[in-house]
Amino acid sequence: MSIQPIGVFDSGLGGLTAVKQLRAIMPHENIVYFGDTGRVPYGNRSVATIRKYAAQDANFLLSYNVKMVIAACGTVSSTASDLGEKLPVPYTNVIAPSARAAVEATKNGKIGVIGTRATINSSAYKKEIERINGEIRVYQKECPLFVPIVEEGFTAPDDMIAKLTVERYLNVLREEKVDTIILGCTHYPILKKVIGDYVGMDVRLIDSGKETAIHASKLLKEKGLLNENPDEGECKFFVSDRTEDFSNLASRFLESNIGDNVSHVDIQHF
């Protein structure tokens, strides 16, 4: 049993897809979230830069004495794949839990993977799927405009910019008739409705943040680190840019008002 918080980080809002799920399945856990909104997006940056940012983000969370670190970011997960080896606490990223869920979901053996440029260049999800089942065909597509669209809040199902961008990127996956798509960047589930409307209801969308949260809860249980305190857990949010913008969008996404529970952090110091 441990009342220490779970640490979750992402380049921006995307990791909230994991937080939402963590709160649903483990309401007693305390959570410290860091969104690197001052440096988002990570997805178009060099490998060296992404690795440096990932280490700083994890160090910041460790300064809050977290019992676990979750890299709720596809870009970090695929680019800084050895991050966990350097940390003194249990760690998970989004790759293995999402790949496993997709392999279990597909019926026709055709899986699409969408992510940032860095994620798709790494082929991390593809390699993991093929490691689990070499018969499956994997179709990858980078979607670099999705992150800024989410960070701008253009996420309503009828938003024309979101709809046109989804169509432009995903028509190739529709043509290949994939029956499962990994939303391999944690920002993308925020566009789930627009994506689902375009690819059709028969296509299973794997939410990488959600699958990772489920995996994290199993890991904490295995290690005897769950918080057994019956009170509702607290969430603290930190960002590296303006707190107001984050507060509004995050409250909308989490469907609960996080108000002024957001603080600024100078991430360069970590």
- With CB under 6 A as the contact rule, the residue among 20, 23, 163, 187 that binds ligand DGL is 187
Q: Does 5 bind ligand DGL (CB under 6 A)?
A: no
Active site residue 185: yes
Q: Name the minimum Å distance from CB 95 to ligand DGL.
A: 11
Active-site residue, 73 included: yes
Question: In whole angstroms, how close is the CB of 192 to ligand DGL at the nearest point?
Answer: 14
List the catalytic residue out of 80, 185, 216, 267.
185
189 binds ligand DGL (CB under 6 A): no
- Near ligand DGL in 14-33, by CB under 6 A: 14
Q: What is the residue-wise DSSP string for the chain?
A: ---SPEEEEESSSTTHHHHHHHHHH-TT--EEEEE-TTT---TTS-HHHHHHHHHHHHHHHHTTT-SEEEE--HHHHHHSTTGGGG-SS-EE-SHHHHHHHHHHH-SSSEEEEEE-HHHHHHTHHHHHHHHH-TT-EEEEEE-TTHHHHHHTT--STT-HHHHHHHHHHHHHHHHTT-SEEEE-STTGGGGHHHHHHHH-TTSEEEEHHHHHHHHHHHHHHHTT-----SSPPPEEEEESS-HHHHHHHHHHHHTS--TT-EEE--GGG-
Q: Give yes or no for residue 42 binding ligand DGL (CB under 6 A).
A: yes
Task: Using the minimum distance from each CB to ligand DGL, give the nearer residue, 93 or 227.
Answer: 93
User: CB-wise, 106 or 119, nearer to ligand DGL?
Assistant: 119
| Chosen residue from 185, 190, 205, 225 binding ligand DGL by CB under 6 A | 185
Among 26, 73, 83, 249, which one carries the catalytic annotation?
Answer: 73
Which of 79, 92, 155, 186 binds ligand DGL (CB under 6 A)? It is 186
Chain contacts with ligand DGL (rule: CB under 6 A): 10-12, 14, 40-43, 73-75, 116, 119, 147, 185-187
Residues that are catalytic: 73, 185
